[in-house]
């Protein structure tokens, strides 16, 4: 029975991996320097790049800054900070445009006491038609129930005086909106299948609307079908702090690590940090960059500081680079990433993915699979017996925290996303 379960697990992982490989990497829609991906279809409104942010202002009325390109199925992420005083904003998606007009789906940004941030508004058409349903409910009672349910669902997810992270997911007719990790809208609607993404300025003169960290991942039909029926993704730093993490002793993370604008940074000695939750079968995505001659890693299925490790390294200048199984992307000590791996230079961001499902272990780097091994296979057993882990008989066989390693070097992480399998 045990062997049969193992084979089922392996087969499931193989099918899942084949179906969910990314249609592409994340695409930065704003590089912090220019507006190459954006255009203003209005005769008014001003968009400027200021200190790595997009600032929108107007001297006339409401307007939208639109993407140049249309998008169909995707995951879109953006951060917004609203000005003090009266204001309102939103993110159009799968929307339509002509001169001085845009309309379509809109994820609401509502700093008012109404607290409708994350709602789904149909700009220029149906208004509030579903989340909440203010404008098309069959009765006053149904309208009030819909609004009450939305307010309870969204709660206090929006931070009035701080940056707020929005995530919009479109997979066929399935639309999902999250604000700071809280799912506010999860509906099905077939009105639009493709269109532009746009940032809104609501028209208040003198008010500056600020946006940053804007990116998109386009999805294929296969990716959409599988992911829509799978466990949802969760940010391990959704609250923009270390509330989901401790040090190895179980104490709060208070020194050596910082988080700002969604970027986790280890500038000084603070020790390894681990998630409070344990994971065994999962898919983990994260971006990272390492300092010159630096060393770090992401460990999983851990017990204490021991576990499988996705190595992070400056291969060229750190002494560990002499050992192929210690180089960046490798399954540390056990399986080397190929020399042809698509790694970005030191100081630049890399996108990584770990798949751990049953006996299947895979490491991905910038969209390419670089490690693929089965725990318990002859190949694994030979490698394991030659490794420094050989005396640990239960190594990698059970759930454990995710660990970010402090190896005495400066390292950065962002977009750390977990999906349990």
DSSP assignment of 344-357 = PPTTS-EEEEEEEE
**Residues 10, 66: one domain?**
no
- Asked if pLDDT for residue 383 goes beyond 80, the answer is yes
**Residues 50, 130: one domain?**
yes
DSSP state letter for 378: H
pLDDT at 262: 86
The terminus-to-terminus CA distance of the chain in angstroms comes to 21
By the 8 A CB rule, do 334 and 325 touch?
A: yes
User: pLDDT for 159-169, tens place per residue?
Assistant: 999 999 999 99
- Asked if the structure places residue 194 within a domain, the reply is yes
**Residues 127, 258: one domain?**
no
User: pLDDT for 86-95, tens place per residue?
Assistant: 999 999 999 9
Range of the domain at 268: 2-22+235-420
Task: Please enumerate in sequence order all residues whose Cβ is within 8 A of that of 118, keeping only pairs 6 or more positions apart, or say none.
Answer: 107, 108, 154, 157, 158, 166, 177, 178, 179, 182, 184, 185
Rounded mean pLDDT, 200-229: 82
- Asked if the structure places residue 292 within a domain, the reply is yes
- Asked if the structure places residue 225 within a domain, the reply is no
- Asked if pLDDT for residue 20 goes beyond 70, the answer is no
**Residues 364, 394: one domain?**
yes
By the 8 A CB rule, do 321 and 315 touch?
A: yes
pLDDT at 229: 46
Which of these three, 219, 253, 270, is where a domain ends?
219
**Residues 14, 35: one domain?**
no
**Residues 128, 262: one domain?**
no
By the 8 A CB rule, do 179 and 238 touch?
A: no
The more confidently predicted of residues 227 and 327 is 327
* Chain centroid offset of residue 403 CA: 18
By the 8 A CB rule, do 285 and 420 touch?
A: no
Which of these three, 188, 219, 250, is where a domain ends?
219
**Residues 12, 79: one domain?**
no
Rounded mean pLDDT, 375-392: 92
User: pLDDT for 278-301, tens place per residue?
Assistant: 999 999 999 999 999 999 999 999
CA gyration radius, the chain: 23
- Asked if pLDDT for residue 19 goes beyond 60, the answer is no
Which of these three, 189, 219, 249, is where a domain ends?
219
- Asked if pLDDT for residue 212 goes beyond 70, the answer is yes
DSSP state letter for 335: B
* Chain centroid offset of residue 368 CA: 18
- Asked if pLDDT for residue 148 goes beyond 90, the answer is yes
User: pLDDT for 85-137, tens place per residue?
Assistant: 999 999 999 999 999 999 999 999 999 999 999 999 999 999 999 999 999 98
pLDDT at 361: 94
- Single out the residue of 345, 363, 341 nearest to residue 354, CA to CA: 363
- Single out the residue of 29, 369, 344 nearest to residue 166, CA to CA: 29
DSSP state letter for 338: P
Rounded mean pLDDT, 398-405: 94
**Residues 287, 399: one domain?**
yes
At 372, which CATH number? Answer: 2.60.120.560
pLDDT at 21: 37
Rounded mean pLDDT, 40-58: 97
Count of CA atoms in the C-beta half-sphere (13 A) of 150: 28
- Asked if pLDDT for residue 35 goes beyond 80, the answer is yes
- Asked if the structure places residue 351 within a domain, the reply is yes
- Asked if the structure places residue 13 within a domain, the reply is yes
By the 8 A CB rule, do 375 and 381 touch?
A: no
Report percent pLDDT > 90 for the chain: 77
Rounded mean pLDDT, 181-207: 93
**Residues 408, 341: one domain?**
yes
**Residues 190, 265: one domain?**
no
* Cβ neighbour number for residue 330 with a 10 Å cutoff: 28
**Residues 191, 118: one domain?**
yes
pLDDT at 222: 58
- Asked if pLDDT for residue 211 goes beyond 90, the answer is yes
By the 8 A CB rule, do 388 and 372 touch?
A: no
- Asked if the structure places residue 229 within a domain, the reply is no
Instruction: Grade residue 338 by pLDDT with cuts at 50, 70 and 90.
Output: very high
pLDDT at 15: 39
Query: Does residue 107 have a cis peptide bond before it, meaning omega lies within 30 degrees of 0?
Result: no
The tally of domains found in the chain comes to 2
Distance CA(197)–CA(181), nearest Å, equals 20
By the 8 A CB rule, do 179 and 117 touch?
A: yes
Rounded mean pLDDT, 317-331: 95
**Residues 349, 209: one domain?**
no
Segment (H or E) for 20: helix 2-20
- Asked if the structure places residue 58 within a domain, the reply is yes
Q: Which of 12-26, 45-59, 136-150, 366-380 has the highest mean pLDDT?
A: 45-59
Average pLDDT, the chain: 90
Instruction: Grade residue 24 by pLDDT with cuts at 50, 70 and 90.
Output: low
pLDDT at 192: 92
Rounded mean pLDDT, 317-330: 95
pLDDT at 8: 38
Instruction: Grade residue 68 by pLDDT with cuts at 50, 70 and 90.
Output: very high
> CA torsion sign, 274 to 275 to 277 to 279?
negative
Distance CA(50)–CA(71), nearest Å, equals 26
- Asked if the structure places residue 228 within a domain, the reply is no
């Amino acid at each position: 029975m045990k062997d049969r379960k193992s084979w089922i697990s392996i087969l499931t992982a193989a099918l899942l991996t084949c179906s969910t490989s990314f249609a592409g990497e994340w695409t930065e829609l704003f590089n912090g320097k220019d507006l190459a991906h954006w255009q203003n279809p209005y005769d008014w409104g001003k968009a400027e790049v200021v200190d790595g942010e997009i600032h929108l202002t107007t001297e006339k009325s409401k307007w939208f800054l639109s993407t140049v390109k249309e998008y169909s199925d995707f995951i879109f992420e953006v951060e917004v900070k609203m000005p003090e005083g009266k204001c309102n904003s939103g993110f159009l998606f799968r929307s339509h445009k002509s001169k001085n007009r845009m309309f379509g789906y809109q994820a609401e940004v509502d700093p008012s006491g109404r607290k409708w941030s994350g709602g789904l508004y149909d700009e220029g058409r149906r208004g509030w038609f579903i989340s909440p349903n203010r404008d098309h409910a069959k009765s006053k009672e149904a309208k009030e129930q819909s609004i009450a349910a939305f307010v309870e669902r969204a709660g206090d997810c929006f931070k009035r005086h701080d940056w707020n992270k929005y995530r919009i997911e479109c997979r066929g007719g399935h639309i999902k909106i999250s604000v700071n990790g809280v799912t506010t809208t999860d509906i099905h609607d077939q009105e639009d299948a493709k269109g532009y993404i746009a940032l809104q300025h609501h028209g208040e003169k003198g008010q500056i609307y600020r946006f940053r960290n804007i990116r998109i991942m386009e999805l294929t039909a296969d990716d959409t079908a599988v992911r829509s029926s799978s466990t949802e993704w969760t940010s391990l730093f959704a609250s923009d702090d270390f509330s989901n993490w401790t040090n190895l002793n179980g104490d709060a993370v208070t020194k050596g690590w910082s988080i700002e604008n969604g970027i986790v940074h280890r500038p000084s000695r603070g020790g390894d940090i681990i998630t409070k939750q344990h994971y065994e079968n999962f898919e983990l995505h994260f971006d990272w960059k390492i300092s010159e001659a630096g060393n770090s890693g992401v460990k999983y299925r851990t017990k204490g500081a021991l576990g499988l490790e996705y190595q992070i390294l400056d291969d060229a200048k750190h002494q560990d680079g002499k050992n192929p199984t210690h180089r960046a992307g490798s399954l540390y000590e056990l399986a080397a990433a190929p020399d042809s791996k698509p790694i970005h230079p030191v100081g630049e961001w890399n996108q990584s993915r770990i798949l751990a499902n049953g006996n299947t272990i895979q490491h991905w780097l910038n969209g390419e699979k670089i490690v693929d091994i089965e725990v318990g296979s002859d190949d694994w057993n030979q490698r394991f017996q030659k490794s420094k882990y050989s005396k640990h008989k239960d190594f990698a066989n059970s759930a454990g925290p995710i660990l970010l390693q402090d190896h005495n070097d400066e390292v950065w992480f962002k977009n750390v996303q977990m999906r349990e399998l």
